[in-house]
Structure 1
């Protein structure tokens, strides 16, 4: 298999287009291919993927916020070969409509119901349904230890329990917190409702999303309980466990990931699965998971929720992305150095190469956005107006000034997010611009 020039010309450059194994997307560092897995795979299989990334790409791997592997640096000559080699591994590849379930689905003793049968039925029922937005997504959440509450979804099904009755609340648009309730149904009816909503979206065309079906009569979601993060150690049945390991800024080299896989095999880790939040979930006995957590921490991975690197959402940036005006990963490392004490878990620092804001679509307390040769400072979304803009060369001083202001003004027991909100855009702008000529 090989992409010829005519096929390469058809590659989708649109905002909102999704790369796929059979339809890689052009980026600044070559073609980007996505591997979406429906089930966990073995550490040896992931190590093989790493070797193929080095052989056919530039050896850089992302795990997306939705838990997909993204392989960078493919060419028109190697993309087809990469696809063929991946398909020859007979992995549990998932294609078509994105129907997400939590990484512990079906294994989690805490979940109200197994979401996988519903997800499979929705995915099967939506086959051949055209006209949906390229990034249309459905979430089916069994309400266990690791939930998908923060993941954006057009249609969301969440398991609920009252007395001995298990139902599924169907929500439209956004995260679980800001989604609107379409209704609560038994399993089969929930599947039928989800497919009906998708059909309505299909008829409205590829720019329509779940929020377009929301009406004023739909109430917000009232049932919100925090689950574990994707970095927690989760206990399963018996001595079985699962542990999450995060990728700093969502990116790693194939060599580093392959080394983790080698150690995982030594520790008899049974399976691995890319997961939401740029994480990798490892499945094994309790002792093996603990050992892998220590090994990963020593190897530069994120293993704790309190790690400030896990509170920075950064897109690939320049030169990886043709839309990006800045090297986001260099800026992320700089921000980590200057703002570490501000990263207390109350907000995600969003660093983006352009106003599209791919790495963090939701509003947040502070956004650093590339704009030409400048860095724009924003409160909200990347597309919102900036409160200050400075040359990229002055980033360190600007970040240092914001850190000093928050450190000085923060009240006792006040979070960074609350302090930034109280200070407001004008004081933040003054802290950056004062002293500049």
Structure 2
């Protein structure tokens, strides 16, 4: 790595298939209010296509929370399309990838549960926006740049438009317009309802799978089965495999996982090892614990959203009888979706050390607002957003309402995609958004 420049930005570069790739590292404050000392590093990987060295920059904000930016093995899809017009910056949001990654090991160094909860509170969208602004100034001074956000990345962009719109030349969002005043309870009531719809559609396509899934759950209630990571698999954790139903290819993936789960060992019915391996791969948060730790706090905005989230997904589940763990025999079987529960911090080894801190974070009623409806109502930044009618994770009704409240927002509304439309058809989606925003 070359020495840091006067701005504090360190850069290392290499070539990939007709592109210069610049890897940037910048130290920023942990807490910009000055209450908590220390710094974190922010990492970004910039792709510059030959001949586009003077193109405007576009920053990609990944979905999550708690997921790093993509590590593309080939330049294709939306990235290939974006590089036709932009230099593309893939930003690892703080706590992910190479941006001072946060997990049980590093969080354990912070202190007790209270100190860890306070530390986690500095990893929300407002901090990510401030990091992006620091990187922008280090790279190009006062010149604004473009942003593209998928899912939670769109939440970050909405915060960006609220708190630092002067840094943006244009904004593109896929599956990620949040409710501006919606509480976690509001969001989860809608996502449970849409998850029920997706369950019904899944079992209509694969009628045999409902009986198989129910049999697996009943088996797990009565027998001990262990995942490759060593912990017992519970039936309630098995049900969280339904997160796949929110993806375009998720139906087939879940169907294949359920196609032959049982075998016989010394006369006893057991789950096949390959089923347990596949379930463990899908259920473990070891690769992205920050996703589980921060998942509800992304909806917390203090008094704006009614205070603390208090394990909202767990509480709201009781309002939807079809998702009850105590459903009577013969009741429809239902997988859950993008919902995080307190008991997962007891059952997943990657999350167990985080339980105390996340429990305290769920009780925080003073997390600051992320969105400013007044600023958004006077927005002057060109904004185009793809909004999916059948999205299981980001409710259509909330996104449509936000699009109406943000001045100048243009929407591409479609039922052609699930939540992962950018991954499945990124070139076409980006074409559509750029056409909208350039009109």
Which structure has the higher relative contact order (CA within 8 Å, separation 6+)? 2
Q: Same fold (TM over 0.5)?
A: no
Structure number having the greater strand percentage: 1
TM-score by length of structure 2 reads: 0.24
Structure number having the greater helix percentage: 2
